[in-house]
Amino acid sequence: SQTIHQWPATLVQPVGSPLSLECTVEGTSNPNLYWYRQAAGRGLQLLFYSVGIGQISSEVPQNLSASRPQDRQFILSSKKLLLSDSGFYLCAWRGTGYTEAFFGQGTRLTVV
Amino acid sequence: AQSVTQLDSQVPVFEEAPVELRCNYSSSVSVYLFWYVQYPNQGLQLLLKYLSGSTLVKGINGFEAEFNKSQTSFHLRKPSVHISDTAEYFCAVTHLNQAGTALIFGKGTTLSVSS
């Protein structure tokens, strides 16, 4: 069966520090991968998606970047965090034969 | 472009009462529709989905939703809620089988069930 792992679960970082959040998927090949951010009262905002290794599409201009170095690995990064980067970050995947997306448990990022 | 509007940000109900969470979508092409549930500090779990066929879709935990193409709606219902249904609920839409297309979510509805 397929599983998705996302870590860390919580993170407190100072303004101006770098960020790296990692997501890995097991039990499937060539999944579509997504990063969402959830802010209070604003629902889920799609940040990035990837249909293959090295292929990243950005949905909104921001202080963040994404990379996909391996088929089932998706990384969200920042060189210098802003206070506005605080939020709940969710990784998700969709694969061949599936219509829905499957989500990781999320990372709560607090920038102080 | 697709969009999803969840008409109620918060819905308070008493235990064993019926509930309806409203969702309207906008799209110029055929879509798939979903409802997800999120418990505090967790990821999203799929409740149900509409792909085609019968417009009444049954999901987990006793929830069901009805697809109405003319009204572009996909409202979620449960005839009798429990305390454990307290959570945030998200409606989502996506294009049919378009590579890379992500699910687009509404802003969510917080369901609060009290005794």
What's the pLDDT tens digit per position in B42-69? 899 999 999 888 899 999 999 999 999 9
Instruction: Tell me the C-alpha distance between A64 and B2, whole Å.
Output: 24
Is it the case that residue B96 has pLDDT exceeding 70?
A: no
Check residue B100 and give its pLDDT: 62
The mean of the pLDDT values for chain B is 91
Window 58-77 of A: residues touching B by CB (8 A cutoff) are: 59
Of B57, B108, B115, B58, the C-alpha closest to B84 is B115
Check residue A47 and give its pLDDT: 93
Q: Tell me: the pLDDT tens digits for A8-51? A: 999 999 999 999 999 999 998 899 999 999 987 778 999 999 99
Pairs across A and B, CB distance < 8 A: 59
Instruction: Tell me the C-alpha distance between A100 and B102, whole Å.
Output: 9
The mean of the pLDDT values for chain A is 92
Contact A49 B9 (CB under 8 A): no
Shortest distance between the Cα of B4 and any Cα of chain A, in A, equals: 10
Q: Is B8 on the interface with A (CB under 8 A)?
A: no
Check residue A96 and give its pLDDT: 73
SS3 state of residue B37: strand
Max Cα-Cα span within chain A = 42
| Structure confidence at residue B97 as a pLDDT band (50, 70, 90) | low
Is it the case that residue A6 has pLDDT exceeding 80?
A: yes
A42 interaction partners in chain B (CB closer than 8 Å): 107
Shortest distance between the Cα of A43 and any Cα of chain B, in A, equals: 4
Q: Compare all CA atoms of chain B with the CA of A47 and give the residue at the minimum distance.
A: B102
Contact B43 A34 (CB under 8 A): no
Q: Is B53 on the interface with A (CB under 8 A)?
A: no
In order of A43, A65, B19, B76, B108, the CA distances from A39 in angstroms are: 6, 18, 25, 23, 11
B99 interaction partners in chain A (CB closer than 8 Å): 32, 51
Check residue B94 and give its pLDDT: 86
Q: Tell me: the pLDDT tens digits for B24-42? A: 998 777 789 999 999 988 8
Contact B9 A41 (CB under 8 A): yes
Check residue B99 and give its pLDDT: 56
Interface test with A, best of B57, B103, B110 (most A CBs within 10 A): B103
In chain A, the percentage of residues whose pLDDT exceeds 70 is: 98
